[in-house]
């Protein structure tokens, strides 16, 4: 059992004074007066990122010009950054590469999985997954023909796998709405027992909780660079292919940088070795520079400590809101589910409440239809700050200040 969350600010201050991750706070640049509870959607700016990006632009690009592909190691960025993400997700350095977006990486790997399981026409997906994952699978099915995307709630997966027609199970490890963690080892084993493969989306897990891709025997995984990895808006994503599939699995987006010899300029495609074949076109060098600075924020950071602190902050926040505003919010976390690193409260006026909180310096986000989502990134948040934010959420909800019509105006990004 986890310990009871602290009930007073003084207890929170004592926890902060003993926090083994307190050193990491200085690695970020956050505006004064803001409690940022949205690192699960866009990680905060690392203190080193502006200088790193400026160096890449001014020195490497401005002075080094095209020579920087070699001299500054631009061409090796996808593998170099992949090797840095690998230990955060329980993978080996040669099983991860940085490329493209999460959506595109999902497409590449799901297509590869279908080819590895001929005669099995079903992709089993989580009906509650982040929509782009479902959309990309639908697009893939439309392209290859004869393939069905069966999007089902987790409770129906077991029965679906029993049908012997499933090629691939695709799911997020952490549900983006509720914050619930799926049993990666268990579901991967059940998929394998049914003759299917498993592809995990780690967008809400990488850098947030302990992930053990190799130990879980996952086949494939993908994830995002701009959430907990702090790579900046639109940062490059990454993908994982278990070593046992690397010789056989094929990238359907056979671009020149995935070729065995890109600079031989041969007319025919020959796939590269290892993870190199999962590249498509030219890497986004400026985005990768920022992502590298984001990954530096994990230097010397123990993921078990990150997960433990995230759990403690989530529990503190949820308990404090409930104590200060009893019964006002519902919880989106299913009964008995393990929570990752964000707390999702439910309220029919959640959108306006989130906007009002942002106006008063507590930044969370809203997910339709009724979820107020608050992410807890242990590298830059402390217990006392989270205690204060929870009191603020409760006070705001009870005050009715959120009823001001300006808080109900919907922006494009919620």
Ligand X SMILES: *Cc1c(COP(=O)(O)O)cnc(C)c1O
- 126 lies in the site for ligand X, by CB under 6 A: no
- 371 lies in the site for ligand X, by CB under 6 A: no
From the list 151, 161, 194, 224, which residue makes contact with ligand X (rule: CB under 6 A)? 224
Per-residue binder mask for ligand X (CB under 6 A), 34-73, x = binder: ----------------------------------------
- 201 lies in the site for ligand X, by CB under 6 A: yes
In the complex, the smallest distance separating the C-beta of residue 236 from ligand X, rounded to whole angstroms, is 9
Q: For residue 62, what is the DSSP state?
A: I
In the complex, the smallest distance separating the C-beta of residue 287 from ligand X, rounded to whole angstroms, is 11
Q: Which is nearer to ligand X, 92 or 132 (CB)?
A: 132
What is the dihedral sign for C-alpha 86, 91, 97, 99?
Answer: negative
Q: Is 227 a catalytic residue?
A: yes
Q: Confirm if 261 and 114 have CB atoms less than 8 A apart.
A: no
Distance CA 320, CA 393 (A): 10
Q: Is 115 a catalytic residue?
A: no
- 175 lies in the site for ligand X, by CB under 6 A: no
What is the dihedral sign for C-alpha 27, 29, 32, 35?
Answer: negative
Q: For residue 179, what is the DSSP state?
A: -
Residues 6+ away with beta carbon under 8 Å from 206: 85, 88, 89, 223, 224, 227, 228, 229, 238
Residues of this chain, 237-296, that bind ligand X according to CB under 6 A: 237
Distance CA 377, CA 39 (A): 6
Q: Is 407 a catalytic residue?
A: no
Q: Is 201 a catalytic residue?
A: yes
From the list 172, 178, 230, 311, which residue makes contact with ligand X (rule: CB under 6 A)? 172
Angstrom CA distances, 237 to 222, 233, 288, stand at: 8, 11, 9
Q: Is 373 a catalytic residue?
A: yes
- 344 lies in the site for ligand X, by CB under 6 A: no
Distance CA 176, CA 36 (A): 18
- 203 lies in the site for ligand X, by CB under 6 A: yes
The residues binding ligand X (CB under 6 A) are 101-103, 130, 132-133, 172, 176, 201, 203-204, 224, 237
Catalytic residues: 130, 201, 226-227, 373
């Amino acid at each position: 059992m986890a310990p009871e969350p602290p009930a007073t600010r003084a207890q929170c201050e004592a926890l902060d004074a003993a926090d083994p991750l307190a050193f990491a706070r200085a690695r970020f640049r956050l505006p004064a007066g803001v409690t940022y509870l949205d690192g699960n959607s866009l990680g905060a700016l690392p203190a080193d990122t502006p200088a790193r990006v400026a160096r890449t632009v001014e020195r490497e690009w401005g002075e080094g010009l095209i020579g920087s592909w070699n001299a500054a190691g631009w061409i090796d960025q996808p593998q170099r950054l992949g090797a840095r993400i690998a230990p955060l997700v329980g993978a080996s350095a040669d099983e991860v590469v940085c490329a493209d977006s999460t959506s595109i990486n999902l497409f590449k790997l799901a297509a590869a999985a279908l080819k590895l399981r001929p005669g099995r026409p079903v992709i089993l997906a989580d009906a509650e997954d982040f929509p782009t994952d479902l959309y990309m699978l639908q697009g893939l099915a439309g392209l290859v023909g004869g393939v069905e995307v069966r999007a089902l709630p987790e409770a129906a997966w077991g029965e679906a796998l029993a049908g012997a027609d499933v090629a691939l199970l695709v799911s997020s490890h952490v549900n983006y709405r509720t914050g619930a963690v799926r049993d990666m080892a268990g579901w991967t084993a059940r998929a394998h027992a049914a003759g299917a493969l498993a592809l995990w989306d780690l967008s809400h897990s990488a850098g947030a909780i302990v992930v053990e891709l190799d130990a879980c025997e996952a086949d494939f995984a993908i994830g995002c660079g701009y959430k907990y990895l702090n790579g900046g808006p639109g940062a490059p994503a990454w993908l994982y292919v278990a070593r046992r599939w690397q010789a056989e699995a094929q990238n359907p987006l056979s671009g020149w940088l995935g070729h065995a010899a890109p600079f031989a300029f041969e007319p025919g495609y020959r796939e590269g070795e290892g993870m190199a074949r999962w590249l498509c076109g030219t890497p986004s060098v400026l985005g990768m520079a920022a992502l590298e600075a984001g990954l530096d924020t994990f230097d010397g950071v123990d993921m078990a400590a990150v997960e433990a602190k995230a759990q403690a902050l989530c529990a503190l926040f949820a308990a404090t809101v409930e104590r200060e505003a009893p019964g006002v919010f519902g919880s989106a976390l299913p009964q008995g589910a393990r929570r990752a690193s964000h707390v999702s409260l439910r309220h029919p006026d959640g959108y306006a409440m989130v906007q009002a909180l942002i106006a008063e310096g507590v930044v969370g986000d809203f997910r339709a239809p009724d979820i107020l989502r608050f992410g807890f990134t242990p590298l830059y948040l402390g217990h006392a700050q989270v205690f204060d934010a929870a009191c603020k959420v409760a006070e705001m909800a009870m005050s009715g200040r959120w009823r001001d019509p300006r808080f109900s105006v919907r922006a494009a990004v919620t």
